[in-house]
Amino acid sequence: MTNEQLLDSYAKLAVRSGLNLQRGQQLLISAPLDAVPLVRRITEHAYRAGASLVTTVYADDAATLARYAHAPDEAFDVAPAWLFNGMAEAFRGGAARLAIAGEDPSLLAGQDPKKLARANKARSLAYRPALELITGFAINWCVIAAATPAWARSVFPGLPEAEAVERLWRAIFACTKADLPDPVAAWEAHNAELHRRTEFLNDRRYRALKYMGPGTDLTLGLAEDHYWKGGGGRALNGVFCNANIPTEEVFTAPHKDMVEGTVRSSKPLSYQGSLIDGIRVRFERGRIVEMTAEKGEDAFRSLISTDEGAARLGEVALVPHSSPISKSGIIFNNTLFDENAASHIAVGQSYTENIRDGSKRSREELAALGANSSLVHVDWMIGSAELDVDGILPDGTPEPLMRKGEWAI
């Protein structure tokens, strides 16, 4: 297929398989400015699917940098609560959500870390009403990506910009199955395989996971009544959607107070315009008590200082090292892709869908079961070809779950 045909296939996949947009439903999109061609195609397919209104909010890297260069000091404690409250109101009214990633991974490198921390905390506080509806799976939502020049340069630094963008688009199309003759059917088959793995894990009812590898000796307790998820699922509004395209993970809720030991990252983490690499942390009673990073340490330290829950885990996910994204050999510097190339954990907010009947339980009940609460939810990768994982059964018996990064089940 030509590039134009591939882009159209990708846009259609986002609307049909990612969101499964319903007739009469509104759609809210957020995207970088460089994603305009993709947004226009998605908008066309959304209206063809029967959308009543498509609204897009664009982010501009130059405007973001202007804030750090010229805004007064007190401006970094401000966030557009009016915008995020409007988003939350749209979701409560039934609107679907599509986020298009593609930001420059190092946009804010070199900026004052204190300003970054303040701005990120203000944004997290303002965004919480909308975030809770997303983590609670109240609506059909999806995250995809668009190849932008700044992102492409970070992935392929030795190539001319146009060639780097072209290569990144091709990688995106391949990893999302948009380049296959029938992407929708391919995603149905892929979901069936991920669902098979979640059924196995939910049947085993492990009480904990044990990780062993270079720099990693970690015992991670699982929340009571935890529930493994993977692939597409049905939101509380009744719509079946694929929240991440691509996705290779099966994931559940750790117990916020039952994580012990050390772990190191295996891939860089791109967070709010900062690239963080070489993360090493030690947990005691579920909380990070020591941390270092080879790059971006201040950014990671400010992340886990956002609130009490930011230094605890809200998600654990298993991904085979042989996943298509890992086999591509590309370090994407983008969490949507890199988290699906390696097993990972996330600091911050738990997903209520990872607790049985989570949507029917109060915050207090969820906390008592071990679910974490925070203003943030940030995944970082710990999996590799050298990582072994055991599942610990309720009676304490360990059994092989992953060996050398591959499924042992």
Q: CB under 8 Å to 80, separation ≥6 — which residues?
A: 126
Write down the pLDDT at residue 225: 97
Write down the pLDDT at residue 274: 85
Question: CA-CA distance, 61 to 72, in Å (whole number)?
Answer: 19
Write down the pLDDT at residue 409: 87
The answer to whether the CB of 352 falls within 8 A of the CB of 134 is no
DSSP string, 281-346: EEEETTEEEEEE-SB-HHHHHHHHTSSGGGGSEEEEEE--TTSHHHHTT---SSHHHHTTSS-EEE
Per-residue pLDDT 10s for the chain (409 aa) are 899 999 999 999 999 999 999 999 999 999 999 999 999 999 999 999 999 999 999 999 999 999 999 999 999 999 999 999 999 999 999 999 999 999 999 999 889 989 998 999 999 999 999 999 998 899 999 999 999 999 999 999 999 999 999 999 999 999 999 999 999 999 999 999 999 999 999 999 999 999 999 999 999 999 999 999 999 999 999 999 999 999 999 999 999 999 999 999 999 998 888 889 999 999 999 999 999 999 999 999 999 999 999 999 999 999 999 999 999 999 999 989 999 999 999 999 999 999 999 989 999 999 999 999 999 999 999 999 999 999 999 999 999 999 999 999 8
Question: CA-CA distance, 230 to 323, in Å (whole number)?
Answer: 14
Q: What is the H or E stretch that residue 227 is in?
A: none
Of the candidates 250, 373, 380, the residue with the CA atom closest to the CA atom of residue 312: 373
Burial of 76 (0-12, 13-18, 19+ CB in 10 A): buried
Write down the pLDDT at residue 135: 87
Write down the pLDDT at residue 1: 87
Give φ, ψ of 141 to 5 degrees. -145, 160
- Residue 313 token pair: 């885990």
The answer to whether the CB of 168 falls within 8 A of the CB of 155 is yes
C-alpha 259: how far from chain center: 21
Q: Where are the beta strands (DSSP E) in 180-239?
A: 208-213, 216-222, 229-230, 233-234
Write down the pLDDT at residue 154: 95
Question: CA-CA distance, 192 to 185, in Å (whole number)?
Answer: 11
Cα-Cα-Cα-Cα dihedral sign, residues 187, 204, 309, 95: positive
Of the candidates 2, 21, 19, 46, the residue with the CA atom closest to the CA atom of residue 245: 19
Write down the pLDDT at residue 267: 93
Within a 10 A sphere around the Cβ of 208, how many other Cβ atoms?
20
Write down the pLDDT at residue 273: 82
Write down the pLDDT at residue 72: 97
Write down the pLDDT at residue 110: 87
Domains and CATH numbers, the chain: 3-175 (3.40.1830.10), 205-230+248-407 (no CATH)
Write down the pLDDT at residue 109: 87
